[in-house]
Amino acid sequence: MKWNKPGHEFDELGGKFIKNRKLIVIGDDFDQASFYLNRRITDVLQFLNVPVKLVKFSIKNLQKKWFTKLIIHMLNFKYKLFKQHAVIITHYKYQDVNKAIMLRNILKEIFPNLMVYDSTEFLEKQMSIFAAYVQDKIYVRDTCIIVTTGCTLNCKYCLNFTPFIKHAKSISLEKLKEEADIYFKVVDYVGFFQISGGEPLTYKYLAEYIEWVAEKYSNQIGQILLATNGTLLPDERLANVLKKYGVILLLDNYTQAVPSTKPTRDKLINFLEEHGIDSRDYGENQQFFKFFPANEDYSKLSEKELSERADKCWGLQPWRNLRDGRIYYCNFSSFAVTAGIIQDDPRNYMDLKNFDCSKKKELLEFFMGYSVLGYDTFCTLCNGINESNTLERRPAGEQAKGKFGWHSGMTLSEFEEMNL
């Protein structure tokens, strides 16, 4: 989205939150905030420092719509829920997310003026606006940091453009610490702090870094996530750190494209189980979008079309990359800079170094998808990563034949021919 009124894009909703600052969570499982957040929802909401009331609503009440409505009327009678100027959040275990949505919809139907959200949408979007307007705090759904561009694989459609990275580089521990210090001075709370690469398990100081971040910023991080391609096993020190700080491993699955990765991946799964380390295991049919190089010349699109396309690339809140003390509009644009595909452009990032706190609402808007351009300069070279990207997808992990140099104007078919 292109900025119209920087610093005021969310004034209307923010104003409503100021008048309705109590939170009521209705649901039947409060122990896990979301699929990627292994924390109680109350712990995540705690940093907002507003009253939170939990109302148990058993899932069996949701089986029949009329019964649900009846129970809601009884709850209203009992708790006077809707006279409390509160924001209502419906919350169920992540497997039952549809139940939360159904309950939200029924509540909206019965009480049209109610501010009601299901927990996923609240944690991904409205909570950022709530935090900024009610508490002058910055809450962000997620941010990713790259510790190394070195990898054990060379995936053709790597989201980090590994085939174009000729000289892989690890970031020094001091620099990574400095990045986090700059970031957490400005950002009060991040839902997921994701550590990625390259393959982060090749990074020599990974255990030390995770331990340092988790100790220093535990009150500002909902969940540390670690993405891995499943080709390496953690050593004992790293395993202890992962367990101690409840890090979730995001376990990519490239076994269809690279069957030789399977034995180690299987060992890794056993290893994680034995050590009590949590993970999210992507299934065998994991796929990569062929989102780069460009399938056609997107620079011909109008500004409006580019902006609309960029808006579709994300769910409720875009993925952000932290690099050089800056937050990038699009993760992939930042990775493209690192791979030497595009030049850094100040319109694609916000600098957090020496951040002017009076610009907090602009930062919130940037995190939520607003920018000077309304899109990223990399959008002209990128097929987009969204449901509207109808390009073929491939089994994740197909390997490129070598390292390539990027030249401007390279098309997807030219890149694929080089890889035949």
Instruction: Work out whether strand 115-118 and strand 279-281 pair parallel, antiparallel, or are unpaired.
Output: unpaired
Residue 385 interacts with ligand SF4 (CB under 6 A): yes or no: yes
Give the DSSP per-residue string, 262-313.
HHHHHHHHHHHHHTT--EEE--TT-EEE--SSBSS-GGGS-HHHHHHHHHHT
Q: Kind and range of the H or E element at 314? A: none
Please, are residues 154 and 399 in contact by the beta-carbon 8 Å criterion?
yes
Please, are residues 137 and 97 in contact by the beta-carbon 8 Å criterion?
no
Binding residue for ligand SF4 (CB under 6 A) from 384, 397, 406, 415? 384
DSSP secondary structure code for residue 391 in this structure: S
* Shortest Cβ 85–ligand SF4 spacing (Å): 37
Of residues 289 and 355, the one with the C-beta less far from ligand SF4: 289
Question: Which residue stretch of 252-260, 264-272, 344-352, 375-383 sits at the interface with ligand SF4 (rule: CB under 6 A)?
Answer: 375-383
Of residues 210 and 310, the one with the C-beta less far from ligand SF4: 310
Q: Kind and range of the H or E element at 191? A: strand 189-196
Residue 330 interacts with ligand SF4 (CB under 6 A): yes or no: yes
Residue 121 interacts with ligand SF4 (CB under 6 A): yes or no: no
Residue 160 interacts with ligand SF4 (CB under 6 A): yes or no: no
Find, among 395, 391, 338, the residue nearest to 155 by Cα.
Answer: 395
* Shortest Cβ 333–ligand SF4 spacing (Å): 5
Binding residue for ligand SF4 (CB under 6 A) from 164, 376, 412, 415? 376
Q: With contacts defined by CB under 6 A, how many residues of the chain interact with ligand SF4?
A: 13
Window 292 to 321, contacts with ligand SF4 (CB under 6 A): 309-310, 313
- From residue 235 to residue 254, what is the string marking binding to ligand SF4 with x (rule CB under 6 A)? --------------------
Residue 378 interacts with ligand SF4 (CB under 6 A): yes or no: yes
Question: Which residue stretch of 63-71, 83-91, 160-168, 371-379 sits at the interface with ligand SF4 (rule: CB under 6 A)?
Answer: 371-379
Of residues 36 and 298, the one with the C-beta less far from ligand SF4: 298
- Rounded CA separation 307/315 (Å): 15
Which strands form 189-196's sheet, in the order they lie side by side?
A: 279-281, 248-251, 221-228, 189-196, 139-146, 321-323, 326-328, 349-351
Which three-class secondary structure state does DSSP give residue 17? helix
Residue 368 interacts with ligand SF4 (CB under 6 A): yes or no: no
Neighbouring residues of 305: CB distance < 8 A, sequence distance ≥ 6: none
Give the DSSP per-residue string, 29-71.
--S-SBTTB-S-HHHHHHTT-S-EEEEE--GGGGSSHHHHHHH
Of residues 115 and 313, the one with the C-beta less far from ligand SF4: 313
Residue 379 interacts with ligand SF4 (CB under 6 A): yes or no: yes
- From residue 37 to residue 76, what is the string marking binding to ligand SF4 with x (rule CB under 6 A)? ----------------------------------------
State the amino acid at position 79 in one-letter form: Y
Residue 170 interacts with ligand SF4 (CB under 6 A): yes or no: no
Residue 342 interacts with ligand SF4 (CB under 6 A): yes or no: no
The contact set with ligand SF4 (CB under 6 A) reads 309-310, 313, 330, 332-333, 375-376, 378-379, 382, 384-385
